[in-house]
């Protein structure tokens, strides 16, 4: 374990069949893995040998490649003795395609370091089908000729695939052409601007090819990977989950951030493994878990319930079950705050990564804050323009063309030529290609008008909206630039303008294309540099996950009518309705997820014996980076009404 890894006790790992290390965040993982690669390169260079690296693509290894580039530029690390083999490539895609892993590797690593081109190996996806078997055999031979892979980097898909070894991939599989699983194609839909554009097949190194590497590092980040990580690490070996084969590798390791580790037994239910260090948060987790398991309200849990479910240690430390039940019940109920206990008369700045995250994640509290007389500003951090289907643009173009004669009579201007040019650009664009600047501008305008319509539904006007259009997002593609000082300065300027006493931001880590993570980074960096009085930071989650009742600092109840009005505000985002361009791992519409999520939080607390609210939104309030819980919530700092 390195100094940057989070500590744990060896006993807590006994269900884990692969060594697992949990790091504070994805940057710490990137530094660790890049540091190991750098050490290997230097060791082999000193021996006059090549270092053979197995490389992966996707969002998971980007931080590693960026750190290697930094080490090359700033610390003189040479990669001239690296021989690289990539895991996979889509079939039917040329190396210069925006979707090609050849291009991905050039743009994200090889164009910035000194690996000789002849030492780079990436499977070809553009060869005729009758040549693919020979190509796959030659790829295996090239790995063997290089002496085998020294260090293999892996990500993991929701189906448990490593490379493109989909469910059914056997232990003895080698480099070959495969059909992509439906889950894999759904997850790749955002990269291809629609699942219908995702190739049906790919070429991939096999499980046996991966298992022959001398060292393997599997990396996973984000909450959406938590369940498959647990299955891969704690479950039985099965060809249905290719990652489980790593349990038989002598030098395989798994590196996780806390979100991806959340479902591991040692994190989710550590009391099942033996003695644990009990904190108020862990006590609440255990008691609510016991309530869920037994179907009993918290105040009805008995000493026998605790003993029957491996929680004897909670009621053998001088406290009765009744006393413990009461303490946890009071902690949870203290977090419930209706409108009368929410901020009033405060300057509030809401950061919404995309132009719909505000109403999706906090549409209920947003209306309550407006009704409480707060001065609310909503700042949309990125344009969201790539998340608009082409047919939406065509619909607006048709409207403009039909409205053109009316506008021409009123203004004397004729926009037919411009409309025709935009339509030509769209007609010439192949499925999955990047949009022109003009089309991106129209899509941005669509998202902005929808956002204004949505906040009007909660009582705000265009005066309360700011569209920041942060530079890191302006690539026209799913993969974004790194956050820069230009992004941070835009947010600092807004902080200076608004002078907020409370800031809301998206704190979720499950956004499938990483924009929410980068938007939070911008907010964090801007707040650290902000010279005004530090505002209180409230974190909400986006369209994929919700804070659990034991994680949340504040639980805001919603009536049936308030939830209905929140959903109507979400409906204003017509370009995201019915079928969203980037739905992520959940196929439901955003409003459906919201309804189930908000009602689910309320139902879980109702079953636990707390007041039976119709729905609830959840928030984490931070003080110096640490969540404020229970009785620690200060009235004045929260902006709570003094007569509550």
Which residues have a catalytic role annotated? 166
Q: Are 251 and 212 in contact (CB under 8 A)?
A: no
Alpha-carbon gap, residue 55 to 79, rounded angstroms: 14
CA distance readout (Å), 420 to 389, 410, 425, 426, 568: 19, 21, 9, 10, 35
Cβ atoms 8, 20 nearer than 8 A:
no
Q: How far apart are CA 256 and CA 62, in angstroms?
A: 15
Q: Are 350 and 362 in contact (CB under 8 A)?
A: yes
DSSP symbol at 266: H
- Alpha carbon distances (Å) from 391 to 185, 387, 452: 22, 12, 21
Locus of tokens 């290390």: 21
Closest CA to 42 of 71, 5, 84: 71
Q: Is residue 595 within 8 Å of residue 570, measured between CB atoms? A: no
The contacts of residue 162 (CB under 8 Å, 6+ apart) are: 87, 154, 155, 156, 207, 210, 218, 242, 243, 246
**Residue in 112, 121, 140, 36 with CA at minimum distance from that of residue 83:** 121
Distance in angstroms (rounded) separating the CA atoms of residues 423 and 411: 23
Q: Rounded to an integer, what distance in angstroms lies between the CA atom of residue 528 and that of residue 546?
A: 26
- Tokens standing for 462? 């265009």
- Which candidate, 626, 635, 382, places its Cα nearest to that of 523? 382
Contact 353, 571 (CB under 8 A): no
Taking the C-alpha atoms of residue 98 and residue 341, their distance in angstroms, rounded to an integer, is: 51
Among 559, 527, 555, smallest CA distance to 541 is for 555
Kind plus residue range of the DSSP H or E element containing 528:
helix 515-529
Helices assigned H by DSSP within 261-320:
265-268, 280-294, 303-308
CA–CA separation, 32 and 251 (whole Å): 16
Please, what is the end-to-end C-alpha distance for the chain in angstroms?
Answer: 49
Tokens 């950061």 belong to 351
Beta bridge partners of 177: 203
CA–CA gap between residue 179 and residue 90 (Å, rounded): 10
């Amino acid at each position: 374990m390195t100094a940057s890894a989070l500590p744990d006790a060896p006993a807590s790992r006994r269900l884990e069949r692969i060594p697992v290390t949990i790091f504070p965040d994805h940057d710490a993982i990137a530094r660790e893995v890049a540091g190991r690669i750098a050490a290997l390169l230097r060791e082999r260079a000193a021996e006059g040998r090549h270092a053979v690296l197995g490389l992966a693509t996707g969002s998971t290894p980007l931080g590693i490649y960026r750190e290697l580039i930094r080490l090359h530029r700033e610390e003189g690390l040479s990669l001239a003795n690296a021989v690289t083999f990539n895991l996979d490539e889509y079939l039917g895609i040329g190396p210069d395609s925006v979707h090609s892993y050849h291009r991905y590797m050039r743009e994200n690593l090889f164009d910035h370091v000194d690996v000789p081109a002849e030492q780079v190996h990436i499977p070809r996806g553009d060869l005729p089908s009758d040549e693919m078997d020979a190509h796959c055999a030659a790829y295996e031979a090239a790995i063997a000729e290089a002496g085998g892979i020294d260090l293999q980097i892996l990500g993991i898909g929701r189906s448990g695939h490593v490379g493109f070894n989909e469910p059914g991939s056997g232990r003895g599989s080698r480099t070959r052409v495969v059909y992509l699983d439906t889950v894999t194609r759904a997850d790749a839909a955002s990269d291809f601007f629609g699942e219908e554009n995702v190739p049906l097949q790919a070429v991939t190194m096999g499980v046996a090819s991966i298992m022959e590497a001398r060292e393997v590092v599997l990396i996973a980040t984000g909450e959406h990977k938590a369940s498959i990580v647990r299955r891969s690490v704690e479950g039985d070996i099965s060809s249905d989950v290719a990652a489980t084969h790593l349990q038989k590798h002598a030098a395989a390791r798994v590196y996780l951030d806390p979100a991806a580790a959340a479902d591991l037994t040692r994190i989710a239910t550590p009391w099942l493994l033996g003695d644990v260090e009990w904190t108020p948060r862990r006590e609440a987790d255990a008691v609510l878990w016991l309530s869920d398991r037994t179907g009993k309200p918290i105040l009805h849990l008995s000493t026998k319930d605790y003993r029957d479910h491996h929680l004897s240690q909670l009621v053998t430390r001088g406290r009765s079950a009744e006393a413990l039940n009461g303490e946890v019940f009071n902690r949870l109920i203290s977090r419930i705050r209706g409108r009368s206990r929410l901020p009033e008369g405060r300057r509030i700045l809401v950061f919404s990564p995309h132009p719909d995250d505000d109403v999706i994640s906090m549409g209920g509290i947003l209306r309550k804050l407006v009704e409480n007389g707060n001065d609310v500003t909503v700042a949309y951090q990125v344009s969201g323009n790539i998340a608009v289907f082409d047919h939406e643009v065509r619909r607006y173009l048709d409207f403009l063309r039909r409205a053109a004669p009316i506008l021409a009579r009123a203004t004397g201007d004729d926009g037919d030529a411009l409309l025709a040019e935009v339509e030509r650009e769209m007609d010439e664009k192949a499925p999955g290609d990047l949009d022109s600047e003009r089309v991106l501008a129209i899509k941005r305008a669509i998202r902005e008008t929808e956002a204004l319509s949505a906040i009007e539904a909660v009582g705000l006007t265009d005066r309360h909206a700011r569209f920041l259009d942060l530079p890191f997002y302006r690539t026209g593609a799913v993969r974004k630039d790194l956050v820069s000082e230009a992004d941070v300065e835009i947010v600092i300027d807004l902080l200076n303008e608004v002078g907020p006493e409370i800031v809301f931001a998206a704190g979720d880590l499950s956004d499938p294309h990483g924009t929410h993570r980068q938007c939070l980074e911008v907010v964090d960096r801007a707040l650290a540099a902000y010279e005004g009085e530090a505002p209180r930071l409230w974190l909400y989650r986006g369209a994929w996950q919700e804070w659990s009742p034991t994680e949340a600092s504040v639980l805001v109840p919603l009536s049936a009518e308030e939830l209905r009005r929140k959903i109507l505000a979400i409906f204003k985002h017509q370009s995201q309705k019915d079928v969203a361009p980037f739905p992520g791992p959940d196929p439901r519409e955003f409003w459906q997820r919201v309804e189930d999520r908000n009602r689910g939080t309320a139902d879980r607390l109702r079953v636990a014996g707390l007041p039976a609210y119709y729905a609830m939104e959840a928030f984490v309030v931070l003080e110096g980076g640490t969540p404020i819980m229970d009785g620690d919530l200060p009235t004045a700092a929260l902006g709570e009404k003094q007569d509550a």
